[in-house]
Structure 1
Amino acid sequence: MSAQAYDRIRRMIVRLELAPGDVLREEDLQDRLGIGRTPIREALQRLARDQFVIVIPRRGMSVASIDVDELAMLYETRAVMEPYAARLAATRGTADQWDEMAALIEQSLRTGVPPSDLLDVDRRCHEIIWDAAGNRFLTDTLDMLYAQSDRVWHMYLVDVADTRHAVDEHIEILDVLRAGDADRAADLVEAHVRSFDDQVRAAVTARLGSPLVS
């Protein structure tokens, strides 16, 4: 129940249903999620460790703000870890995993798929790669980093024009994963992460009207 509470509260934070600065009250979350006090409290403690929630002394907890100055650190961490996961996945992945990824991509090619659904496909493609890598410590870290990136994307989604391109890039990634080409898989995933960073940073810059720190 604690893990379920964590996943559901984090999703609300990522999707901005709980906005930066919102005060988090255990009673409200219990009513909203239908989950008891102890799992909610444990989930909030974990969310605080993962920097989605901040603890305010004598006042409780609130949703952490999105610090655009930390985008560079977020990118440079993912740019190291995601390609490493892809390298492992190319040598450890199974046909069933790549078939699942192919089916997701195929479904996303329909016309009229909303941006939020495309983001779900992108995330699931990443999750399949992490699973194929077969390293749970790596997966746990990448899951948290992706969620932080996803949150930034939702904050500035209206300014990011090429949402479908993020999913389309997985077509070539899938091909090299099937072929077991670890070096090429790592290169393509690094480029994929860099493309995300470039789009979001451009969107943030446009929104704020001033360049981001490089």
Structure 2
Amino acid sequence: MIWRRPIRPLALAFALAAPVALHAQAPQNDLASVQRHLAATQTMTADFSQTDRNGRVLTGKLTLKKPGKIRFQYEKGVPILLVSDGKSLYFLDYQVGQKQRWPIGNSPLGILLNPERDASKFAKVVPSNDPRIVSVEAYDPKRPEYGRITMIFARQPSAPAGLMLQGWVALDAQANRTTVRLTNQQFNLPVADNAFRFNEPRRVRR
């Protein structure tokens, strides 16, 4: 695969952190069910497929561990990494030797990584015609630069709180849309803390 670099890191961070909705008409208690699912999920691993607004697809492996740790490891040949060490979210571009950082508390990832966060203050259930789907949109009107995210869950009795996170769609502040789909989800298996370490990118000398 040939790596081309038209991905903007902030939009990427929103995309990978932002679960999005389809079209659902769900009961009022669905948001509480989502909160129970998030609280019951201490670790998760999954394969992900990310599609940007131009239709380009990247794949990789997602690893999550609460509190605050997440890693999006891209397929071989893609020299970028999105990772949180529990305090900060980092976007690493090894091709150009660039590292960018955001506090986890100021990131849309907070809804996935902080089980104590009250989703009812910034999220709502999105109506859908499919009773098997629960979609929750998160948006902070005080922070429009964070964009708008919506998580998509499927009802599945074997998953935590009866919900399986299927993926998300994200809209950044410039209305750029990114879709992430998850497969092979596994919950609450042991995950070592060193899974969230990373090598510092080396700055490219010109």
Greater strand percent: which structure?
Answer: 2
| TM-score, scaled to structure 2 | 0.29
Q: Which has the larger radius of gyration?
A: 1
* Higher normalized contact order (CA 8 Å, seq sep 6+, divided by chain length): 2
Larger helix fraction of residues: 1
What is the TM-score when the length of structure 1 is the normalising length? 0.28
